[in-house]
Structure 1
Amino acid sequence: MSTQKNLWLLLSIFSLNLAIITLASDPDPVQDFCIPNPILASMIKTHHTFHTILPCKNSSEVITNDFIFSNMKTSGNFSETGLAVMPANPTNFPGLNTLGMSFARTDIEIGGINPPHFHPRATELIHVIQGKVYSGFVDSNNKVFARILEQGEVMVFPRGLVHFMMNVGDEVVTLFGSFNSQNPGLQKIPSAVFGSGIDEELLQKAFGLSSKQIGTMKRKLDPKQER
């Protein structure tokens, strides 16, 4: 009887671990595709996010263009750091819904950067199309894995690890990134630390910065504060 109880206990633990692993990833599709119903999807109120599953429209209303995305032909608008990102996800590319993946075009001006950030729900694979980019990530032991990537090279950033990019060449960098989630999430380290409202005293103690320096960083990174 004791052996049987132990067997059931092991099976229960295995089932629980399997459930946790399953819930940690995008759910498997249960149909060929699920093109979001624009009316029902618009009724779902979100903020800087998109649902893993959006309500489908009738398959008889699906057209070829639902599976084509044409906005990768040119770069997006460049930020103050010289970065332009054009994402492709179910909110602007209906054909991706329920398929567990997303995509992005990234352009970086000469000397520009993609600041340290991470994606909590996805591993990212980048492919350099043009230029030279210093790129890498930091593991949980604070070890940096980085080097200069050139045209045609590919690098992977493991899920949840901080990574970064900087244009070190003499032309605009263009690269494409793919994610194994349709909602990878994005956490920018500078904004998360100085632009999120963390108590100033804690930041002073953590980084050894003065109140004036903290204030400068907050004004730069928090859009709610006056510049």
Structure 2
Amino acid sequence: MMMWRVPELLPFLALGLFLGHVAADPDMLQDVCVADLSSAVKVNGFPCKVAFNASDFSTDVIAKPGPTNNTMGSLVTAANVLKVPGLNTLGVSLSRIDYAPGGLNPPHTHPRATEIVFILEGELEVGFISTANVLVSKTIKQGEVFVFPRGLVHFQKNNGNVPAAIIAAFNSQLPGTQSIPATLFACTPAVPDNVLTKAFQIGTKEVEKIKSRLAPKKGRELRPIEIQ
């Protein structure tokens, strides 16, 4: 059996420590760094404002249900650093998601955060897909929680006859959201049709039909999710 000496293990220990620190937002280096959202400076996060007050650390944006009269029957309202500047460098944020009966939060990912949801009302079918293409899914009811691991495709569906709502927490000030259908079929510039036809094993007409349905149209939103 191979025996490792401490000096030989040091590079691996250092790598482990490094990887442990890149799993979420970087640690802050001061008490607060309230985001200056008006600054033209681009950094990994936002530059700090010199003066701040309590309003920078508070919002009522998720206090009330949002309208769900859109194609997907769901609405995501984010309370991230863009709405609460005081979250800058703190590595946390919340969202509220409201669902009409039959409403769907379509398959999507958060590339920068793990998500945990708490059911405020109603019940949802939720699930995520592992990189081994295994679906982990269950129905959760009022008062229950469910976790979606960072970066994995996941969804929520209201199969009930009454509205539902959840609060979602993230270990990132700006977790990011990539809705799989919109990312592939409604991005700009467009993904080439021959890529989509081969990937999904469908014809060009089917691709164009999907694109036409997902393309933003005046007076109609596919899903009014906030860009993060």
Query: Normalised by the size of structure 2, how large is the TM-score?
Result: 0.84
The answer to whether residue 88 in structure 2 is matched with residue 97 in structure 1 is yes
1:68 — aligned with what? 58
- Aligned mates of 2:56, 2:186 — CA distance in 1: 37
Counterpart residue type for residue 103 of structure 2: G
Q: Which runs of 5 or more structure 2 residues have no equivalent in the other structure? A: 221-228
Counterpart residue type for residue 68 of structure 1: S
The answer to whether residue 144 in structure 2 is matched with residue 153 in structure 1 is yes
- Aligned mates of 2:183, 2:164 — CA distance in 1: 26
- Aligned mates of 1:116, 1:17 — CA distance in 2: 31
Q: Is the 8 A contact 1:36 1:97 kept in 2?
A: yes
- Aligned mates of 2:175, 2:31 — CA distance in 1: 22
2:122 — aligned with what? 131
Q: 1:53: how far off?
A: 2.9
Query: Normalised by the size of structure 1, how large is the TM-score?
Result: 0.84
Q: 1:70: how far off?
A: 1.0
The answer to whether residue 149 in structure 2 is matched with residue 170 in structure 1 is no
1:48 — aligned with what? none
Q: Which runs of 5 or more structure 1 residues have no equivalent in the other structure? A: 46-50
1:54 — aligned with what? 46
Q: 5 Å matches for 1:176-215? A: 176-196=167-187, 197-215=190-208
Q: Is the 8 A contact 1:52 1:97 kept in 2?
A: no
CA shift digits 1:173-219 (9 cap, x unpaired) = 11000001112111111122222322212322222212111101112
Q: Is the 8 A contact 1:119 1:159 kept in 2?
A: yes
Counterpart residue type for residue 193 of structure 2: E
1:27 — aligned with what? 26
1:217 — aligned with what? 210
- Aligned mates of 2:140, 2:27 — CA distance in 1: 34
Q: Is the 8 A contact 2:101 2:161 kept in 1?
A: yes
Question: Secondary structure of the equivalent of 2:105?
Answer: strand
Q: 1:30: how far off?
A: 1.5
Question: Secondary structure of the equivalent of 1:177?
Answer: strand
Change in CA separation of 1:131 and 1:28 when aligned onto 2, cut-off 3 Å: same
CA shift digits 1:83-123 (9 cap, x unpaired) = 11110111111121110011100001111100001111110
Q: 1:143: how far off?
A: 1.3
Question: Secondary structure of the equivalent of 2:101?
Answer: coil
Identity of aligned residues (%): 40
Q: Is the 8 A contact 1:131 1:170 kept in 2?
A: no
- Aligned mates of 1:204, 1:96 — CA distance in 2: 42
- Aligned mates of 2:113, 2:164 — CA distance in 1: 23
Q: 1:68: how far off?
A: 1.4
CA RMSD of aligned residues (A): 2.4
- Aligned mates of 1:119, 1:199 — CA distance in 2: 24
